[in-house]
Structure 1
């Protein structure tokens, strides 16, 4: 008697990875985002490559190195020796969000570089976290001397003045006076693995929407709903893409879910009108 087992889909695999917040495997989940564009990607090979880098990094550490020394060695290894940095030629390339591509090219965007840096930091016993800072993902490292806030594009530390300067355009955009702005430390709260994945997916959502790539946009929205099932704006967005792709029944279901559950949606009349148009279709 032969047994046939069907391999889980990329989305089901992602669902399993992000089911629980505790011990959510950030690197594997982040690497899996590329499976929609590259279904043949070998995730285990990606993990093996990072493990190999971690082994090289550990061999470069002096015995008994402090947290600050380990941070310096990691930055030298990551930025100087391996050459990781920004993809300045094409910042909007979706491959910048694909971990395996960043590993191959050594070029990415702040959040994808941070995912790799944080994995290596964990491998050498550093307490480090990502920060969902407005406009630019950052890294926080705990050392005996205090905290280091650094830019994952360069590894350079950022002073409080530099961080405040980065916030200024957002304060103006939000229409807030200087004394109305939240204290700096509230912008430096560590991001959870789920929040990091959500930010990566939102980046991809923006890229695919601007490129009018509906199939890839739909795949990203599937993942966002798996990741944040009670964020009802994702159902609205997916419903609109499904309607664009001619999947009326699925589109209606998503848009109706949004109307029923979203708290005081500002675009309720527009979405209700879209639902009526879909219902009227033959």
Structure 2
């Protein structure tokens, strides 16, 4: 039976621990900023329909890897969900309602679809905040099965994972311990924060400073201690000529991060605004 899905409020998120933070509803809350008429019940029903279609088949399969193979076949081969290789940085790829409607997305949004469907079928699929492209992982007898939702849920072996990580680690190849840490399951908050950082980066690149400011502000609602988001919101406000907001955010960033590598640059921005900048030591 399909019930109503309730979206959280932005002001409630910081108080929720990771286990209580609802992944799909909060991702739809992010999308509602851009699509205010979004009806979350519609997209919850889409996920449920995907799961219901698979339930009989998946319940007859014994092993987790074969269960997730059936999920991947339905989502990626039959329904046509896939990575937007043509317009990777299209912001629609980060808004879950658009991912469901277009069946195109980026690695993290496709992972979220895959995870939501799998979990409703009792499959313990988790996200992996891998450097570069977001991945998913499934426990198996001898470790974890790691898959790439951006490329049809393709399984990745250890050597490919090492190679993918190496380019983000200064050319160093991760040993087993480092790779295991990289492959830790990502909590819901980390997934949602990464979605918002992706959106912020897209909007900065496009010079859409109102949306960049919104993305940084929403990130602070999720994780108020994220000082980089405080700086990013201040810089977006600066580009919007909202000087009071820019002064507040940049001054607070400097108070918290006097030793940051960009502290002198931020201090100069603050002085240009006529604000008093904390002394750097």
1:224-277 Cα offsets, whole Å, 9 max, x none, are: 111121111211111111122121112111111101112512222222222222
Shift of 1:144: 4.0
Residue 28 of structure 1 deviates from its aligned partner by: 1.1
Instruction: Indicate the SS of the match to 2:9.
Output: helix
Q: Which one of the candidate residues 116, 119, 122 is aligned to 1:119? A: 116
Say which SS state the counterpart of residue 183 (structure 1) adopts: helix
Q: Distance in 1 between matches of 2:174 and 2:23?
A: 37
Pairing partner for 2:12 from 9, 13, 16: 16
Question: Is the counterpart of residue 99 in structure 1 residue 96 in structure 2?
Answer: yes
Contact 2:83–2:107 (Cα < 8 Å) also in 1: yes
Which runs of at least 4 in structure 1 moved beyond 4 Å after TM superposition?
A: 176-182
Q: 1:141 aligns with which of 138, 163, 181?
A: 138
Q: Does the alignment pair 1:229 with 2:227? A: no
Partner of residue 165, structure 1: 163
- Give how far 1:150 is off: 0.7
Shift of 1:71: 1.3
| Comparing 99-108 and 59-68, the one that deviates more | 59-68
1:39 deviation in Å? 1.3
Q: How does 1:59-208 map to 2 (within 5 A)?
A: 59-63=56-60, 65-144=62-141, 146-153=143-150, 154-171=152-169, 174=170, 177-178=172-173, 183-208=178-203
Gaps of 5+ in 1: 1-9
Contact 2:230 2:253 in 1 (8 A): yes
Higher mean C-alpha deviation, range 59-68 or range 152-161:
59-68
Does the 8 A contact of 2:128 with 2:183 survive in 1? yes
Matched-pair contact (CA < 8 Å) for 2:257–2:263: no
* TM-score normalized by the length of structure 2: 0.88
- Aligned length in residues: 267
List alignment gaps of at least 5 residues for structure 2. 1-6, 276-281
Check whether the contact 2:146–2:155 (CA below 8 A) recurs between aligned residues.
Answer: yes
2:40 aligned residue: 43
Given that 1:17 and 1:25 are in contact with CA atoms closer than 8 Å, whether structure 2 keeps it comes out as no
Q: How many Å separate the matches in 2 of 1:143 and 1:180?
A: 21
Q: Does the C-alpha gap of structure 1 residues 32 and 166 become closer, same or farther in structure 2, counting only changes over 3 Å? A: same
Q: Which residue of 2 aligns with 1:4?
A: none
Residues 64 and 108 of structure 1: is their aligned pair in 2 closer, same or farther, counting only changes over 3 Å?
closer
Q: Is the 8 A contact 1:54 1:120 kept in 2?
A: yes
Question: Matched residues in 2 for 1:16 and 1:243: separation?
Answer: 28
Distance 1:248 1:200, change over 3 A: same
Q: CA RMSD in A?
A: 2.1
Query: What do the CA deviations read for 1:183-214 (whole angstroms, capped 9, x no partner)?
Result: 32121111110000111111111100000001
